[in-house]
Structure 1
Amino acid sequence: MFPVSQRWLEALSLARYEPVVQWSPDRGNTWHDLTLHDGSITAASTSQVRWTARGLIISGADIGRRALSPYGARIRVFMRMHYDRHTIETVPLGVYRVEEVSQAGLRPGRAQLDGLSLEAQVQDERFHQPRTLAIGTGQYWATTLIKEVLPEVGMSWRLGDTNIPQLVEERDRWGLIDGRSRDPSIAKSLGGRVFCDSRGSFVAAPVPTLEDPAVWELAAGPGGALVEPQQTLSRDGVYNQIVASGASENGQPPIGPSVASDDDPVSPTYYKGPFGAVPLFYTSKLITSLQQCQTTALGLLAPRLGLKQKVSVSSLLNYALEPDDVISVTMPDETVENHIIDSITFPLTGGTMSMQTRSTTSPAGGRITIEGDNADYGEGTFDE
């Protein structure tokens, strides 16, 4: 959760919010105010682009190739809470490159904007020719590859670190940094993720687990924030084992594998229980030690454990919440569950916020077991 005062949390039920939207023609060197009439923000840890602005209806700027347009303009969004005439508190809600601007069907002087956070720019700027990375730390190379595209952005490193081996990448810059589930990325080899935060800076952080402390408490029923929490349970994307190994290089045997398993007998996804064993295989040339195998296996297992469900929130809007936050939910039957927020959508001009969360009746996030026989796991390629 974005750091806010206790007063913010206590004032949610009576909050008077004011959205603030600004645009920049010069990569954030100068900012100009816009008037917001409608729109929403979605933040999702399950997406390669964490922050998305959809349907922002704005006025107060010229629209065109040399003004507010998809050809280099950025927008940033904030939400202010007014405590009284003289006291406000503000949280950021993302920095975006403008993806599309349309004036069709709107009042004169208004336009509709869509935007994506700055991971999209790094993903677009692929290598023109194969790129050789010398031996260096993960932090050095991840930061270097990002700042070659966005030299003005900050980078916060919250992971452990180790040297990565020399390697050659054909095209995919973002696949080296974080990437999709199949990519042998620096972040995955260190058990973490790289993403843009709500301020527009990049962050390298560990994958959260349900054992992390809850940052907010919700209650269902009369007087609570939840209105009939709707559970849509699914096996899709739920794995209870990760088999991680290093790639074979120069005729040497591969490192690992290490197997992270949900081995808590009371967990609904216990790998020896009715759910069954559902392994996910991952091989990376960036894994060079057994410790990295273990870290990678745990990092890949954590976001795939847990029962997926949707939770609709009414009456309270908390714009400080972020993806990967752990929240405590008191259900109508008075049971208390921890949920990890996978995605959250905020309306900017009133309404309800909705979250997609993961929860499980077990606090276990999976524990490492070591298997020595690679043949037990096929060839160790990624198989989903």
Structure 2
Amino acid sequence: MTVQRASARLLAEISRSHEVYSYVDVISPTQERRRLPATGGEVGVDRTAAIRRTCKATCIDPLGVLVPSGTDSLLTPYGTELRPYRGVRYAPTPEHPEGETEVVPLGVFRLSKVTIQDTTGGSPDIQLEAYDLSRTVARDKFTSPYVIATGTNIIDAIKAILERTFPDLSYDSISTTRTTTAPRLYDVGDDPWEAVTVLAQTLGCDVYFDVEGWVVIAPPVDIDALPAPEFTYIEGERCTMLDLSRVFTDEPGHNGIVLTGESPGDELPAVRAVAWDEEPTSATYHLGPYGEVPQFITDQLIKTQEEAQATADQLLQNLLGFSSQLSISSIVNPAFEAGHVVEVVRARSHVSGLYAVDAFNVPLSAKGTQSLTLRQKRTVGGE
């Protein structure tokens, strides 16, 4: 068995009739590991949500060894982790008469709720609910005043807060020279995950736990900078798209950022930067009929005009495209990540463009379909 990001072979396999293979690994606080077949449930991912990944799974325990008998059992919400996987079982070959399998990870979750459904004549169903590790950070509220000292590197400050809860995290992070210009104080009861989210936003970055449980601190993908999409839904043979709906809305509809850097704690004057949708072909071009709809942001970590403008430009990229949203259902691709870029072409709905994946689900059963929420940034071949 191979556990990895999706191979070209897997992506080709899911575009035709295939056998779904999924399971959930259950890991205790002492690293005891058990595997449960998944018969239902799904992983949900939403880039715009405070907790990016959620998991609901229905599993069976034919031998009855994992049905909880008390609070010290493995399947109880007191530190147990879930790691769900989904993939395919390939057709049998002489080398692999039972069919080779390939799966991709769907996230690392802390178990939150367990429900046992025991009916006459069958094995008990175990229903699991779990959230990615950001919820654990958020629940680990500051119990005493927490201070980030003047001159602390922003990435180091984020890591220090996260390591209160998880001392041994791995990171996939940008680097920065930006530091705090004054002490930042968090009160008793403040939310540490909200604190790191705001710190990351100062750098124009998202912060989240990825499918392997690593902390990612990085700007969202810039569609305009990509040479090609990660996946395509182009009508015709082997298109896995089942249906679509298209929505045009002016909510939230921001097409500009007005950012003020106050930089308390030093003698530098406040700085101000403005970034607008400057693309004349864009529906939200600020000098076009749409007008100007700015979002105002104050950031106490920014102290130079250069930092202010770079942050405003990045935050604007995160906003653009929400006015043109597309929802599609399709055959399941388990390898998606929020922020991936897909190409969608459907002539009769006048859809042809590149879209960023903002939200999606991955069913754990073979019967489920995948729903994706997309936002458009530009048309194929656009500048």
| Contact 1:262 1:364 (C-alpha < 8 Å) held by counterparts | no
1:275 to 290, 305, 312: 290
Q: Distance in 1 between matches of 2:20 and 2:306?
A: 47
Indicate yes or no: 2:182 matched with 1:177: no
| Contact 1:18 1:82 (C-alpha < 8 Å) held by counterparts | yes
- 2:148 corresponding residue in structure 1: 133
| 332 and 224 in structure 1: CA distance in 2 versus 1, 3 angstrom threshold | farther
- 1:375 corresponding residue in structure 2: none
What amino acid is the match of 2:376? S
- 1:296 corresponding residue in structure 2: 311
| 270 and 187 in structure 1: CA distance in 2 versus 1, 3 angstrom threshold | same
| Residues 177-206 of structure 1 deviation map (CA, whole Å, 9 limit, x = unaligned) | 11xxxxxx2211111111010111111111
Q: Distance in 1 between matches of 2:118 and 2:316?
A: 46
- 2:160 corresponding residue in structure 1: 144
Q: Distance in 2 between matches of 1:174 and 1:19?
A: 31
More deviation in 326-335 or 94-103?
A: 326-335
1:102 to 115, 119, 133: 115
| Residues 342-377 of structure 1 deviation map (CA, whole Å, 9 limit, x = unaligned) | 0011111122101001014468999xxxxxxxxxxx
SS in 1 for 2:365: coil
| 161 and 234 in structure 1: CA distance in 2 versus 1, 3 angstrom threshold | farther
Pairwise mapping of residues 185-224 of structure 1 onto structure 2 (< 5 A)?
185-213=198-226, 214-220=229-235, 223-224=238-239
Cα offset for 1:311?
2.4
1:62 to 60, 67, 85: 67
Q: Distance in 1 between matches of 2:134 and 2:213?
A: 10
Cα offset for 1:222?
6.4
Q: Distance in 2 between matches of 1:265 and 1:364?
A: 15
SS in 2 for 1:231: strand
- 1:154 corresponding residue in structure 2: 170
Pairwise mapping of residues 319-330 of structure 1 onto structure 2 (< 5 A)?
319-330=334-345
| 282 and 91 in structure 1: CA distance in 2 versus 1, 3 angstrom threshold | same
| Contact 1:20 1:80 (C-alpha < 8 Å) held by counterparts | no
SS in 2 for 1:72: coil
- 2:130 corresponding residue in structure 1: 115
| 155 and 247 in structure 1: CA distance in 2 versus 1, 3 angstrom threshold | same
Q: Distance in 2 between matches of 1:124 and 1:90?
A: 31
Q: Distance in 2 between matches of 1:253 and 1:278?
A: 29
Indicate yes or no: 2:366 matched with 1:359: no
- 1:372 corresponding residue in structure 2: none
1:17 to 15, 20, 25: 20
- 2:264 corresponding residue in structure 1: 249
What amino acid is the match of 2:309? Q
More deviation in 212-221 or 348-357?
A: 212-221
Q: Distance in 1 between matches of 2:379 and 2:305?
A: 28
Q: Distance in 2 between matches of 1:251 and 1:203?
A: 31
Q: Distance in 2 between matches of 1:118 and 1:65?
A: 21
| 244 and 105 in structure 1: CA distance in 2 versus 1, 3 angstrom threshold | farther
More deviation in 132-141 or 342-351?
A: 132-141
Structure 1 residue runs without a partner (length 5+): 179-184, 367-384
Number of residues of Structure 1 aligned to a counterpart in Structure 2: 356
| Contact 2:263 2:301 (C-alpha < 8 Å) held by counterparts | no
What amino acid is the match of 1:174? W
Cα offset for 1:122?
0.8
| Contact 2:353 2:379 (C-alpha < 8 Å) held by counterparts | no
Pairwise mapping of residues 82-101 of structure 1 onto structure 2 (< 5 A)?
82-85=89-92, 86=96, 87-101=100-114
- 1:345 corresponding residue in structure 2: 361
SS in 2 for 1:23: strand
1:75 to 63, 78, 82: 82
Q: Report percent identity of matched pairs.
A: 25
| Contact 2:249 2:324 (C-alpha < 8 Å) held by counterparts | yes
Q: Aligned-residue CA RMSD in angstroms?
A: 2.5
Per the normalisation by structure 1, the TM-score is 0.85
| 248 and 152 in structure 1: CA distance in 2 versus 1, 3 angstrom threshold | closer
Cα offset for 1:231?
0.7
Per the normalisation by structure 2, the TM-score is 0.85
Structure 2 residue runs without a partner (length 5+): none
| 254 and 188 in structure 1: CA distance in 2 versus 1, 3 angstrom threshold | farther
- 1:369 corresponding residue in structure 2: none
SS in 2 for 1:103: strand
| Contact 2:256 2:292 (C-alpha < 8 Å) held by counterparts | yes
SS in 2 for 1:349: coil
SS in 2 for 1:147: helix
Q: Distance in 2 between matches of 1:129 and 1:349?
A: 45
